[in-house]
Amino acid sequence: MKIGFIGLGAMGRGMATRLIEAGHEVHVWNRSPRPVEELAQRGAHRLESPQGAFAGDAAVTMLADDDAVRAAILGSDALRAANKKLVHIVMSTVSVAFARELEKVHADAGIAYVSAPVMGRPEVAAAGKLNILAAGDAASIERVQPLFDLIGQKTWPLGAEPHQANVAKLAMNFLLASAIEATAEATALVERYKVDPAKLTEVMTATLFAAPAYAIYSKLILEGEFKPGFKLTLGLKDVRLALAAGEAAGVPLPFASVVRDNLVDAIGHGDADKDWSAVSLVARRRAGLPSKTGGR
């Protein structure tokens, strides 16, 4: 296939490389030039502007947020000038409101639009092992399924309206944030009773909570380093988007509100650039515990 690829951040680079290595003709664009050079050396074609990405069979957009997608895609006549047979796959974690706006814009332009945010970190993307949450009309998803199969270990179809995939992605990140907060509160509680929090997380992750979410984040919480990872400000962005999605549909999310307050607290205390599991420092601080387990 001839594929346009917009956005070569840590995630996008790995994804585009997978497509190139599988023999596809991949045309890439990025705001800063270095990743474009890097990909060109692996066989990608350089694009001068995002518009060029819409000339082939599929275009993949993997930019940071609403604003970045808006600037790259809606700021030009990219969609109106696009190949009418192309499928545009937006894999960014954008707001539900913006996903709905994209639905309208694509319908107006007569271009197929699939929303397909992903779960997984950069190394998972590079290994082609992402989980892909996909929504859009079934025929369009089917056409790009071969691309998904190169990028992800599994595609999860979530509905015919693209924004439904975004709701599901935000729900997943909300669940992660809640698992982090719950673990933070639980470990703060036991530590105040001089129970080694590592023992609690050992029980958790060996029994009822034997899941990657708890294994990964309880380890980060115990270590107390909080190297990103997933930056706390991005975590706050996603929790805010989940709250906004709830607001638009009349769904209160009291757990999300607690997490939001704590993320704000963490930012106010200088932890904005740490991994979002640093929100656990709020529970520690409120419990009168030192910022690291065991006061080390």
Of the residues 80, 81, 206, 273, which one makes contact with a copy of itself according to CB under 8 A: 206
> Can you tell me which of 286, 290, 292, 294 binds a copy of itself, judged by CB under 8 A?
286
Q: Pick the binder of a copy of itself from 10, 40, 127, 251 (CB under 8 A).
A: 251
**C-alpha distances in Å from residue 285, one per residue of 38, 129, 235, 266, 295:** 44, 37, 20, 10, 12
Cα separation, 74 vs 80, whole angstroms: 10
Minimum Å distance from CB 267 to a copy of itself?
Answer: 5
CB of 231 to a copy of itself, least distance (A): 15
204 near a copy of itself, judged by CB under 8 A: yes
Q: Which of helix, strand or coil describes residue 8?
A: coil
Q: Does 127 bind a copy of itself (CB under 8 A)?
A: no
The answer to whether 72 touches 43, Cβ cutoff 8 Å, is no
CA 42/CA 181 separation, integer angstroms: 42
DSSP assigned state of 44: P
Positions 181 through 200 that interact with a copy of itself (CB under 8 A): 181-183, 185-190, 192-196, 199-200
90 vs 167 by CB, closer to a copy of itself: 167
Looking at beta carbons only, is 21 or 261 nearer to a copy of itself? 261
Q: Which of 10, 142, 203, 273 binds a copy of itself (CB under 8 A)?
A: 203
Q: How far is CA 288 from the centre of its chain?
A: 33
Site residues for a copy of itself, 68-97, by CB under 8 A, read 96
| Cα–Cα distance, 57 to 73 (Å, whole number) | 17
Q: Are 70 and 15 in contact, with CB atoms under 8 Å apart?
A: no
Binding status of residue 288 toward a copy of itself by CB under 8 A: yes
Phi, psi dihedral angles at 101 (to 5 degrees): -65, -40
Task: Examine residue 229 and say whether the peptide bond preceding it is cis (omega within 30 degrees of 0).
Answer: yes
Residues with catalytic roles: 169
Is residue 237 part of the contact set for a copy of itself (CB under 8 A)? no
Q: How far apart are CA 225 and CA 206, in angstroms?
A: 23
Q: Which CB, 214 or 226, lies closer to a copy of itself?
A: 214
Min dist. Cβ of residue 213 to a copy of itself (A):
4
Determine which residue in the list 209, 224, 230, 291 makes contact with a copy of itself, applying CB under 8 A.
209
In whole angstroms, how close is the CB of 82 to a copy of itself at the nearest point? Answer: 27
Planar angle of CA 53, 59, 61, nearest 5 degrees = 95
Q: What is the greatest pairwise CA distance in the chain? A: 65
Which class for 255: exposed (0-12), middle (13-18), buried (19 or more C-beta within 10 A)? middle
Instruction: Return the residues of window 253-272 that contact a copy of itself according to CB under 8 A.
Output: 253-258, 260-262, 264-265, 267-269
**Count of residues touching a copy of itself (by CB under 8 A):** 81
Q: Of 22 and 258, which CB lies nearer to a copy of itself in the complex structure?
A: 258
Shortest Cβ 111–a copy of itself spacing (Å): 23
Touching a copy of itself, residues 156-185 (CB under 8 A): 156-159, 161, 163-164, 167-168, 170-172, 174-176, 178-179, 181-183, 185
Question: For 246-250, which contacts have Cβ atoms below 8 Å and span 24 or more sequence positions?
Answer: 248/96, 248/97
